[in-house]
Amino acid sequence: MFFDRLWRGAETTELTGRRDDWISYTDYRGYEKTDQVIEWFWQCIRSWPTERKARLLQFATGTSRVPVNGFKDLQGSDGPRRFTIDKSGDPSQLPRSHTCFNRIELPPYEDYESLERKLTYAIEYVGSRCLRTIAC
């Protein structure tokens, strides 16, 4: 079991239990963790089922699995790289991601509903068509 887990990474079902781990090992560029948009982001993630959380992780990092030792061991294309939420774009735009850098570019949405709708659309529809990421 241990070696299987080591080989495959943590199951997506563990995303729920690792929410605080995910928050703890997130960096912010242009945002503070107390900004309203960031609070809405984590509120949205908490409300999602595990499968959608896994798709968000896939959208942002290129993998739907949490590293065995949690988000502190997240890797980017150039080695250890924390999950990052970058303030970027116009509120009319969808979020974008840079999977090589474990980064989401999250526009400064004006309300929770806009954030949830556009983030969901980005990971469910745009992301599934391989249009979600910017070349690293």
Choose, from 44, 100, 130, 136, the residue flagged as catalytic.
100
pLDDT digits (tens, 9 = 90+) for 47-84: 999 999 999 999 999 989 888 889 999 988 888 899 99
Respond yes or no: is residue 136 known to be catalytic: no
Instruction: Give the long-range contacts of residues 80-86, CB within 8 A, separation 24 or more.
Output: 82/25, 82/26, 82/27, 83/22, 83/25, 83/26, 83/27, 84/26, 84/27, 84/28, 84/29, 85/26, 85/27, 85/28, 85/29, 85/31, 85/38, 85/41, 86/28, 86/29, 86/30, 86/31
* Total-model pTM: 0.82
pLDDT digits (tens, 9 = 90+) for 24-38: 999 999 999 999 999
